[in-house]
């Protein structure tokens, strides 16, 4: 498994993973806009020329705010998400991040387990955070050594 910055050429595969993973999937155009943002950093996990997963974060002073993380169905339960998170947080640390933050749907227990394995801890609940179904978000944080 190789980790590298996301390229525009990856977006077809990224959007397919997004559709298979998210209740309100982003469009190819939205990912394309994100790739052009100076404070946004997106990565893919690649296996034999295929995108196995992706994640991205927004950079703020001393903070990496995780925006999304998804793994293709056929690559789930193989440690891809955890390895991607480690790669991303290592990249963010080298750029000065001291903490990482994220929101996760209250119903997304698999993601919460992954973030727990990566030493994130719950710090708050954002009521009715998700506009598609008014679901609460769990806010998690991790100190980056």
Q: 120: which DSSP letter?
A: -
- Fold of domain 2-143: Aminopeptidase (3.40.630)
Calculate ∠ Cα 118-123-129, nearest 5°.
Answer: 100
Q: What is the CA radius of gyration of the chain?
A: 14
**Band of residue 145 on the pLDDT scale cut at 50, 70, 90:** confident
For the segment 116-125, what is each residue's pLDDT rounded down to a tens digit?
Answer: 999 999 999 9
What is the reported pTM? 0.90
Report yes or no: 10 and 16 within 8 Å, Cβ to Cβ: no
pLDDT of residue 94: 97
Distance CA 66, CA 15 (A): 18
Report yes or no: 121 and 141 within 8 Å, Cβ to Cβ: yes
Is residue 18 scored above 90 in pLDDT?
yes
Is residue 130 scored above 90 in pLDDT?
no
Q: Which two tokens stand for residue 76?
A: 């789930």
Closest by CA position to 43, among listed 98, 78, 81, 99: 81
Answer yes or no: 54 catalytic: no
Is residue 129 scored above 90 in pLDDT?
no
Is residue 124 classed as helix, strand or coil in its secondary structure? strand
Is residue 133 scored above 90 in pLDDT?
no
Answer yes or no: 115 catalytic: yes
Number of alpha carbons in the 13 Å side-chain half-sphere of residue 131: 1
The residue written with tokens 């991790």 in the block is: 142
Domain segments of the chain as ranges = 2-143
Residues 103-127: what's their mean pLDDT? 94
Distance CA 93, CA 90 (A): 5
For the segment 36-91, what is each residue's pLDDT rounded down to a tens digit?
Answer: 999 999 999 999 999 999 999 999 999 999 999 999 999 999 999 999 999 999 99
Active-site residue, from 47, 63, 103, 135? 103
């Amino acid at each position: 498994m190789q980790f590298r910055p996301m390229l525009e050429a990856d977006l077809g595969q990224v959007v397919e993973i997004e559709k298979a993973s998210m209740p309100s999937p982003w469009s190819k155009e939205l990912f394309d806009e994100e790739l052009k943002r100076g404070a946004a950093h997106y990565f893919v996990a690649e296996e034999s020329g295929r995108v196995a997963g992706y994640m991205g974060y927004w950079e703020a002073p001393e903070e990496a705010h995780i925006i999304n993380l998804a793994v293709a169905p056929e690559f789930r339960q193989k440690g891809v998400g955890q390895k991607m998170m480690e790669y991303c947080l290592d990249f963010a640390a080298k750029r000065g991040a001291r903490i990482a933050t994220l929101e996760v749907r209250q119903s997304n227990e698999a993601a919460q387990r992954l973030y727990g394995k990566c030493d994130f801890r719950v710090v708050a609940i954002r009521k009715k955070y998700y506009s598609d179904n008014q679901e609460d978000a769990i806010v998690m944080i991790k100190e980056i050594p």
